[in-house]
Amino acid sequence: MSKNYRGDVDAATSDLDFEKNNYQIELETTHGKILLDMWPDVAPEHCRNILGLTRVGFYDGIIAHRVIPGFVVQIGCPNGTGTGGPGYTIKQEFNDRPHEAGVLSMARTSDPNSAGSQFFICLDRVPHLDNQYTVFGKTADQDSLDIVLKIGSVKTNSSDKPLEDVKITGSRVIENAK
């Protein structure tokens, strides 16, 4: 069983202020930099969760364990298999934002309240995910979307795992006053 990061995440997010600041996450990957805008207006707890996990370095060194062209790139499992998480779960915050290319959404099991650390970034419009998974951000610019799409075209095995690791080599939170 992996460590429970709840206390670390709570401590790392104690100074977040969604009223005064906009937040972004920068993921440095083996394929390039991805900048993600957070949408706390529709999913504040999901934003708080990923910002906290990023601040404590949870994602550094983690691989994209699932890539399905035209669908999603999935990241955030500390085991690299899609079976791990941060040792806790958060409740769903379904909203009306569509799952389209560049959208950041939270992965989960069949239980809507089972999200933890695994997220996916859509590679195209995926309407059957709407109102079934929590959307909480999007790529901030075309360069970031291009990197996501590049990752979305890597060669994978029969389990959708990239043949060559696509890794987050570093991550950070960017805070800007509104």
pLDDT digit string, tens, across residues 28-46: 999 999 999 999 999 999 9
Residue 1 lies in a domain: no
| 67: in domain | yes
pLDDT at position 137: 98
Q: Is residue 16 part of a domain?
A: no
Domain with 140 in it? 7-11+22-177
> Considering the domain boundaries, does residue 2 fall inside one?
no
Q: Is 99's pLDDT higher than 70?
A: yes
The count of domains in the chain is 1
Q: Could you tell me the two tokens for 58?
A: 């949870």
Average pLDDT, the chain: 97
Say whether pLDDT at 47 is over 60. yes
Closest CA relative to residue 104, chosen from 68, 78, 140:
140
pLDDT at 172: 98
> What does the pLDDT read at residue 1?
52
Report the CATH number that the domain containing residue 41 is assigned in CATH.
2.40.100.10
For residue 52, what pLDDT band results from cuts at 50, 70 and 90? very high
| pLDDT (tens digit per residue) in 115-140 | 999 999 999 999 999 999 999 999 99
- pLDDT of 2 strictly over 80: no
Task: Answer yes or no: is 17 within a domain.
Answer: no
For residue 146, being part of any structural domain is answered with yes
Mind spelling out the 3-state secondary structure of 14-55? CCCCCCCEEEEEEEEECCEEEEEEECCCCCHHHHHHHHHHHH
How many distinct helices (H) and strands (E) make up the chain? 3, 8
49 is a domain residue: yes
Measure the CA–CA gap between 130 and 173, rounded to whole angstroms.
27
How confident is residue 163, by pLDDT bands cut at 50, 70 and 90?
A: very high
